[in-house]
Amino acid sequence: MIRLTVKRVFSFLIFLLVLYAGIGSQEVGGGFSDAPEVPGSEADVPAPQPLPRSFGSMVLGISLEQAKEDLQTDSLFSYRGDPDISFSPVDSQPIIRADGLAYLDAGIFQFHEDALYSITLQIDPEQLDYFTMYSTLTAKYGDPDYLDPQQSYWERNGVRMILEKPVTVKYLDMDAFTAIREAGAAQESVSDLSREIFLDNF
């Protein structure tokens, strides 16, 4: 009788051990299908925001005259008017360079066929470093489409935003930029052809 009782107690202890091991494996392995999602999972990551086409009052595509008017009242830049306007030595297109205020050292605005296609912002590296800018842009716009030790860029919907070291941010209208680049390549081809024709005279 005593042997039978001991046997039952021993069997009951084994059953408890097996039951406990089963519950522990479910908790560790996540075996419950109705377990709540852990906060901070991928489902909670917000979708990247659209890339902006503007900074302050400067909007890609505006005319030179509109840019001059808007810069007069833009609190991010110190614009002096026509003395801040020069022309590209390559294609004689206007360029505005305005001193920046607060975190900005300067803003450079390039035009092609009377439309703003490039905004370059030179940021004071003593106030904002490259890593801070990269972290901010990545949080808003997702991982960059291109990354190397010197620069990264994001591109979508006809806009490319470039972050360069030490701390420079550029906005490019890619339709205009592609047209300018193709025109430049065509000019180089004509130049090469003219040189070959000239050399044929010897």
Q: What angle do CA 109, 161, 72 make, to 5 degrees?
A: 30
pLDDT at 182: 84
pLDDT at 185: 59
pTM over 0.85: no
DSSP letter (8 states) at residue 154: E
pLDDT at 47: 87
What are the residues whose beta carbons fall under 8 Å from the beta carbon of 104, sequence distance 6 or more?
76, 77, 121, 122, 123, 124
Q: Is the pLDDT of residue 194 over 80?
A: no
Digit-coded pLDDT (tens) for 165-176: 999 999 999 999
Q: What is the dihedral of CA 184, 190, 195, 199, to 10 degrees?
A: 160
pLDDT at 75: 93
Q: Provide the H-helix boundaries in 55-122.
A: 64-73
Range of lowest pLDDT (90-94, 126-130, 146-150, 152-156):
90-94
Q: Which two tokens stand for residue 99?
A: 């001193």
